[in-house]
Amino acid sequence: MHKKVAVILSGCGVYDGSEIYESVITLLRLDQRGAEVQCFAPNVMQLHVVDHYSGDEMPESRNVLVESARIARGNIKDVREAKVEDFDALILPGGFGAAKNLSDFAISGAQCTVQPDVLAFAQAFAQAGKPIGLICIAPALAAKIYGPGVICTIGTDHETAATLAQMGAQHEECEVSDIIEDKQRKLVTTPAYMLAKSISEAASGINKLVDRVLELTVN
């Protein structure tokens, strides 16, 4: 029986949404492993819009769900429609959207909050003992999902790791090609573009994360 995996996106583009390479690598690996995937995103406005050519903020507004649909080729749903009982696992790619749209970590740091619909869905997986994979900066949500003591990684960035520790997470340094697993909580994390210098480097850890998340699903 195919494993069913929910993937939460946060827009389209590294600076204001989902990191596109991380998202596509995740979706590709899931497909290669025979998983059935449904993408979700919160139906909210982005924090802001960034011109990915110049790096400048743009004087316009965009919707996270609508922008995420670009990556999902239109096959995406409002996360409010998501039900934990329909899935075996959950994965969140990174990109600044995880810290700007799925949460306000980029603004509020250790005092951040997570978008309520995203938080409720992720916490339902945690409470059900179903595995979750968090990629790149997405582990910033780990302590909000699981509470104090959760083990995760964002790589080797000491400043960000210190902020996660303030939130109650236990950070472990990790190379780009590896994963950190909190065995008790069935949480798998990998640094991806927190460290990656190329798409191949990002893929090396993401593929391991996807494989391990699928292994952790209950038969």
Question: pTM to 2 decimals?
Answer: 0.97
pLDDT at residue 219, as a whole number = 57
Region 4-216: CATH code: 3.40.50.880
Question: pLDDT tens string for the chain (219 positions)?
Answer: 589 999 999 999 999 999 999 999 999 999 999 999 999 999 999 999 999 999 999 999 999 999 999 999 999 999 999 999 999 999 999 999 999 999 999 999 999 999 999 999 999 999 999 999 999 999 999 999 999 999 999 999 999 999 999 999 999 999 999 999 999 999 999 999 999 999 999 999 999 999 999 999 975
Report the 10 Å Cβ neighbour count for 73.
9
Q: How far is CA 65 from CA 3, 74, 84, 192, in A?
A: 24, 10, 19, 23
Alpha helices, H only, 109-177: 116-128, 142-146, 158-166
Just list the catalytic residues: 136
Query: In whole angstroms, what is the distance from residue 93 CA to residue 22 CA?
Result: 6
How many residues are listed for the chain in this entry? 219
Note the Cα 109 to chain centre separation in Å: 17
- State residue 174's pLDDT score: 97
Strands 132-135 and 187-190, sheet pairing: parallel
Give domain limits for the chain.
Answer: 4-216
Among residues 110, 115, 60, 111, the alpha carbon closest in space to that of 92 is found at 115
**Would you state the torsion angle of the CA atoms of residues 32, 124, 134, 102, taken in this order, to the nearest 10 degrees?**
110
Residue 1 is predicted with a pLDDT of 59
